[in-house]
Amino acid sequence: MAINRFKLFLLGCLLIGSLLINLPSLAANKATTTPAPGLKTALLIRPDAQSLFWDIFEEAMQAAADDLDVQLTSLRTNEDTIALIQLIKKVAASEEKPDVVFFHAETAGNKQIIRTLNQRGIDVFNVNTSIPEWEKPALGTPREKYKHWIGEFLPDDFMMGSDMAAHLQKEAFSKKLSLNNKVNVIALGGTHGNIASDERLKGLQRYDENTAKINLQTIETTNWRTEKSADITARLLEKYRSTHAIWAVSGETAIGALRGAEAKGLVPGQDIVIVCTDWLPGILDYVQEGKINATFGGHFIDGAWALILAYDYKNGYDIANNGSFTRKSKISAIHQGNADLYVPKLKNKAWKRIDFKILTQTHSPDFKAYNFDVLDLMKDVD
């Protein structure tokens, strides 16, 4: 079978660099019809082999693939651009090519990735992170210069960073945590040059510039690691003793911030406000407990939405959004006011029981518009 040969080919990619391969077995298929001829095999190339966020991202994408009867294969990288490009060349040269490749845009090499796949007639879709600004003049936008670059599905990281700052300020004021009517903030970023981290920080900085309500004392990079975040937080709280709030770029960073605050004798969520991103299970627990004041997310399911768009495209449907082939995630905040409603559903992975098939144009005769709001879709599932 072609699909089996495709899986055997991907197993050979284990020899490239430090790539780790994961060929998940398909769960029971919810779809009752044979797969549409347009999309049978898909490849997800994820950037971090040890990230809980990417584990959940892949799991959500697999749930959609099961419903659509698409064979989804995942390759896990360690953000090694050279090894990734070598892998892309090997995929492109194979006789048994995937119908669509989904990849996370890197800080470099995206032009070579898209061009290589385009030359071999393989459709490509970037997810979770946008192409860096410096590469955009050469690449353009999806379909503009490379017809097989069919789309992108991204969180609006800039707006997320700004919304986090606004929520952080509101929470701090409600707890009377301010000095001269300003909230003193320390920010924990990811890594320099990482698009998601940089854009979220730009959103925070813009909010700081446009309002007179927060005082951004410092920004430190954490490499997205919990232990490093804890050490940095403890050190910064010693230096900036009147800090009222911590803006954390990710959930794992926020856990480190929480531990660092506790190490300095503070009660997180009360003595100091913590706001972050990602709906990871541990973060959701801390929100319910009141130790983390809010976490912004919803982008964990973007791979599933991107798969739906690619599925419809391969079946001849128009997936443009007002003429654009770029779509943005629906980002929402989980906080004390709605945690009891949404946290149990998210922890029980109610999103796996969404019928992804009926969200497609292909299988919805009365289709009007895509609904990519995961909180709305989970209302009717347990």
CA distance 208 to 352: 38
What is the value of pTM for the model shown? 0.86
Q: What is the pLDDT of residue 5?
A: 55
Smallest Cα–Cα separation from 21: which of 30, 11, 29, 31?
A: 11
In the chain, the domains with their CATH numbers are 2-155+299-332+362-378 (3.40.50.2300), 157-297 (3.40.50.2300)
210-261 pLDDT per residue, tens? 998 999 999 999 999 999 999 999 999 999 999 999 999 999 999 999 999 9
Using pLDDT thresholds of 50, 70 and 90, give the confidence band for residue 23: very low
* pLDDT range class, residue 4, cuts 50, 70, 90: low
Task: Give the pLDDT mean for 11-18.
Answer: 45
* b/e code 159-190 from CB counts within 10 Å (16+ = b): bbbbbbbbbbbbbbbebebbeeebbbbbbbbb
Residue 274 pairs with which residues in a beta bridge?
246
pLDDT in tens, 254-264: 999 999 999 99
Residues whose CB is less than 8 angstroms from the CB of residue 21 and which lie 6 or more positions away in sequence, other chains included? 10, 11, 13, 14, 74, 75, 76
| Residues 223, 192 contacting (CB under 8 angstroms) | no
**Are the C-beta atoms of residues 124 and 148 closer than 8 Å to each other?**
yes
Q: What average pLDDT score do residues 260-276 get?
A: 98
123-145: pLDDT as tens digits: 999 999 889 888 999 999 999 99
Identify the band that residue 175 occupies on the pLDDT scale cut at 50, 70 and 90.
Answer: very high
